[in-house]
Amino acid sequence: MSQTEERIDSKKMEHSSDYSSHDYDFEPIERIRATVDLTKEAARAISITALEAVREGAVFMGVIGSRGQLINPFSHIDAAVWTEPEVPESMIEAAYDYCEELTRREAGNFYHSFKYLPEMERRAICAYYAFCRRADDIADGDYFDSFPGGSEDSQESIEYRTNIERLSGGKPVLERSAYNEKMSQLFYYRKKLSTCFGNVTSTDPIFIALKDTVREFGINRGLMDDMISGMEDDFHRNRYETFEELYSYCYRVASTVGLVCIEIYGYDDPIAREYAESWGVYMQLGNILRDVAEDADRDRIYLPLQDLAKFGISEEDVKKKKELLNHPGWKPFVQEYLDRAEEYRQRAFKLLPLLDKPSRYSPAAMAAFYQSIMRKIERKNGDVFSERIQLSKSEKILLAAYVYVRYRFLAV
């Protein structure tokens, strides 16, 4: 049995059918995260009814401005939620339009794999992508997410980040003001997420569409909470000692994505969940290797330090970036890293025949793009420093055409 298979078998014991039994799920830090909620009672002072929103003309504003910019069709509503149980269909459609346009503008290669999905699945995937995109923009960028009535100076926000910091151990790896702001932002982002599973509805178009997607496809909240937790992990650590530690991070920020996506794609065999977990790990391993230089500039090293040390590579060597190409251990390290990633790729590709046939193209295209990038890295002997490893436009078109024909029309 390979190391990957042993790892997957051990993970089977940690997962229940609702994906909520990771070994860290019952730790105090996860209990704090899981209790973030926005109830009808707590929302009275910051609520607006759906009918009031309609009267204010929210549904008629559209999502593209006169200069072609993406605009929130409900941005003029100065309230975080409305308390009516149902949202008018026209508002749900406007919310989906917003998510799809955001995805088209920001998802790049991913959008081209999404657009061939059946309409319902495509709209749902775009809503989920928008949710992930904005969380990442908050955590790793300068996007400021609006939550009417919320503040980083509120007592509940302060208590949340204080408890998370205490239980995470050690000081944050961000500057204090940035840490406070981003943790507060993600705290309120969790509140918005809670509305997808509660008796109030967010006025954020992403969460209007996501709530409809959750209802339609029965998506588990724990998977999306875990993804936000992965974003928070980046505020508390910037090194990973072992591959086991890195695997847990990959699960949170990437495998949870695969597990949500397959609920939308559709499948019959429960083993698809195991393969979806591998799919996420495989793509995240690709991201980590491709972005070594960019991460080093931000004092982040995701490559497992024990694995690097085995080949005589230190943290300082990684920070030297292009000079690392001359290190005798770099090429063999990269080859071992790629071999490990290949094991996850082989498991990930076993997912495709288990999915509903009209949905196979989307994950197949994403996995194929990453496979091609990994091969380029191997051909370049691990040179991820001279230029960003990516596919040319012609390479993307040819690969997309091949995958489309194979997974939409041929038996696999």
Provide mean pLDDT across the span 274-283: 97
Whether 265 contacts 355, CB under 8 Å: yes
Residue 10 pLDDT exceeds 50: no
Q: Could you give the C-alpha distances from 170 to 158, 174, 193, 238, 403, in angstroms and in order?
A: 17, 12, 28, 12, 46
Residue 259 pLDDT exceeds 60: yes
Question: Alpha-carbon torsion 8, 336, 402, 127, what sign?
Answer: positive
In the prediction, which pLDDT does 344 show? 96
Q: Which residue has the higher pLDDT, 406 or 136?
A: 136
Least confident of 71-75, 163-167, 372-376, 390-394: 390-394
Query: For residue 110, what is the enclosing H or E element?
Result: helix 109-114
Residue 234 pLDDT exceeds 90: yes
Taken in order of first residue, the domains within the chain and their CATH numbers are: 1-29+238-412 (1.10.600.10), 36-218 (no CATH)
How many residues in the chain? Answer: 412
CA distance 285 to 300: 15
Query: For residue 191, what is the enclosing H or E element?
Result: helix 176-194
3-state secondary structure of 267: strand
3-state secondary structure of 27: coil
Residue 106 pLDDT exceeds 70: yes
- Output phi, psi for 201, to 5 deg: -125, 135
Secondary structure string (H, E, C) spanning 331-378 = HHHHHHHHHHHHHHHHHHHCCHHHECHHHCHHHHHHHHHHHHHHHHHH
Q: Kindly report, residue by residue over 332-355, the tens digit of the pLDDT.
A: 999 999 999 999 999 999 999 999
CA geometry: angle 86, 73, 100, nearest 5 deg: 85
Q: Tell me which amino acid residue 360 is.
A: R
3-state secondary structure of 196: helix
